[in-house]
C-alpha cells in the first residue's frame, strides 16, 4: 500500500505541474462554453435521439454547448494524460528496473486518470449549469465524466506510441474533431447515421442530450459504447506499459562440476 501511495503522489504531482493544462482548464473551458451558448442561434431544432429513437426539440445554443463542452474536456484530459504519461515514461522504467512494483505504478496511473477526469468534468458541468438548467444535471455530469475517462485513457495509450507532445496534441485534436463534429444535430446531417455509434463520444453525447432534454435515465449508451472504448484504451495502455517496463531476471547458469 505504501508503494501505491508514493506512486500516486508522484503521478498527481506530474499532473499538477502541467501549467498549460491548468491554463486551459481555467480559461479554455469557460470560453468555449460561453462562445457556444452566446454565439449560436437559440432557434429550436427537432432531432432524433438515436439511443432511444425519441424525437426531441431543443435550442441550437444548448445543443452546441453540450457538444462544445465534450469537445473541450476531451481535448484537455486527453492532452493532460498524454503529457503526464510521456514525461514519466523514463522514470517509470528506472523504477521498475530497480524493483519497484509495477502494480503500484499502474494503480497510480488509474488513480490520476480518475482524479483528472473528476476535476475537469465537474468544472465543465458547473459552467454549463451557469447558463442552462438541464432536466437531469447529475446524469449530465456522469456523461461528461465518461468522455473525460475515455479520452484520458486514449491519451495514456498514445503516449506509449507517439514520439512527442506536438504529435500527441495534434492527434487528440483531430480525433476529437472527427468524433464530435458529425454527431452535432445542429451542425451536421450525419448525426443520425449508424456509423456515429462507433465514435468515442457517442455514448457521452447521447446521454448528455437525454439528460438535458428528457427525464429518462438513459444509461445504455454509456454502458454499451463508452465502457467499450474506455476498456479498450485502458487495457491497451496498461498492457503496453507492462511490456515496456518488464524486469528481466538474469538466468541462472548451471554449475560446472568438472
pLDDT at 113: 94
Residue ranges of domains in the chain: 2-244
Cell of 98: 530497480
In terms of Cα–Cα distance, which of 110, 172, 150, 118 is closest to 230? 150
Q: Which of 178, 172, 136, 131 minimizes the C-alpha distance to 155?
A: 172
- Helix %, strand %, coil % of the chain (to 5): 70, 5, 25
pLDDT value for 45: 84
φ, ψ (nearest 5 deg) of residue 218: -90, 95
Burial 112-142 (b: 16+ CB within 10 A, else e): bbeebbeebbebbbebbeeebebebbebbbb
The pLDDT, as a whole number, for residue 247 is 57
pLDDT of residue 188: 66
Ordered alpha helix ranges (H), 17-101 = 19-23, 29-39, 60-87, 89-97
Q: pLDDT at position 105, please?
A: 87
pLDDT of amino acid 190:
66
Those residues of the chain that have pLDDT short of 70 are 1, 188-192, 246-258
Burial 64-83 (b: 16+ CB within 10 A, else e): bbbbbbbbbbbbbbbbbbbb
- Please tell me what DSSP assigns to residue 185: T
Amino acid at each position: 500500500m505504501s508503494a501505491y501511495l508514493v506512486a500516486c503522489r508522484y503521478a498527481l504531482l506530474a499532473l499538477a505541474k502541467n501549467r498549460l493544462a491548468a491554463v486551459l482548464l481555467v480559461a479554455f473551458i469557460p470560453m468555449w462554453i460561453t462562445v457556444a451558448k452566446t454565439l449560436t442561434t437559440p432557434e429550436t431544432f427537432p432531432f432524433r435521439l438515436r439511443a432511444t429513437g425519441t424525437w426531441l426539440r431543443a435550442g441550437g445554443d444548448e445543443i452546441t454547448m453540450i457538444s462544445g463542452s465534450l469537445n473541450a474536456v476531451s481535448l484537455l484530459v486527453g492532452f493532460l494524460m498524454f503529457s503526464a504519461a510521456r514525461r514519466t515514461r523514463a522514470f517509470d522504467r528506472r523504477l521498475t528496473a530497480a524493483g519497484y512494483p509495477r502494480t503500484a505504478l499502474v494503480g497510480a496511473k488509474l488513480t490520476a486518470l480518475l482524479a483528472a477526469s473528476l476535476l475537469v468534468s465537474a468544472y465543465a458541468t458547473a459552467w454549463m449549469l451557469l447558463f442552462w438548467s438541464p432536466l437531469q444535471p447529475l446524469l449530465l455530469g456522469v456523461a461528461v465524466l465518461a468522455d473525460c475517462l475515455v479520452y484520458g485513457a486514449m491519451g495514456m495509450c498514445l503516449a506509449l506510441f507517439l514520439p512527442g507532445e506536438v504529435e500527441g496534441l495534434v492527434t487528440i485534436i483531430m480525433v476529437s474533431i472527427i468524433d464530435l463534429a458529425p454527431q452535432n444535430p445542429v451542425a451536421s446531417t450525419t448525426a443520425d447515421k449508424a456509423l456515429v455509434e462507433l465514435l468515442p463520444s457517442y455514448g457521452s453525447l447521447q446521454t448528455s442530450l437525454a439528460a438535458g432534454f428528457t427525464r429518462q435515465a438513459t444509461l445504455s449508451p454509456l454502458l454499451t459504447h463508452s465502457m467499450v472504448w474506455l476498456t479498450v484504451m485502458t487495457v491497451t495502455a496498461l498492457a503496453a506499459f507492462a511490456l515496456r517496463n518488464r524486469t528481466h531476471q538474469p538466468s541462472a547458469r548451471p554449475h560446472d562440476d568438472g
